[in-house]
Amino acid sequence: MSEIKTITPEELQQGLEAGEKYNLVDVREDEEVAEGMISGAVHIPMGQIPEHLDHFDPDQEYILICRSSGRSGRTCEYLNELGYKVTNMVGGMLKWQGETTPKEK
């Protein structure tokens, strides 16, 4: 198993502002994402990841996001063991200073 890569909220925000494209996956629960998500993120609650593996392309990299980076870290470990390329946003949404958008239906 390889070490899980990390990205800070600041690094992610700078990349987004520079026009970088990322595959963002928010693993928080419904009531948490109702308060707002990073624009462009896909919402898949942590407990539903195993039945949504078809969302993940082994050739793409994904940045996982949660409230404080605990759940996203565990989800990164799980997906990493399955061979997916994942990065954990350390600090989670508690440290996110950028804009958020309501969850898209």
Active site (catalytic) residues: 66
User: Which residue, among 4, 24, 1, has the nearest Cα to 98 in the 3D structure?
Assistant: 24
* Cα–Cα distance, 18 to 92 (Å, whole number): 20
At position 10, the amino acid (one-letter code) is: E
d(CA 12, CA 4): 16
Of 58, 69, 64, residue with least CA distance to 38? 64
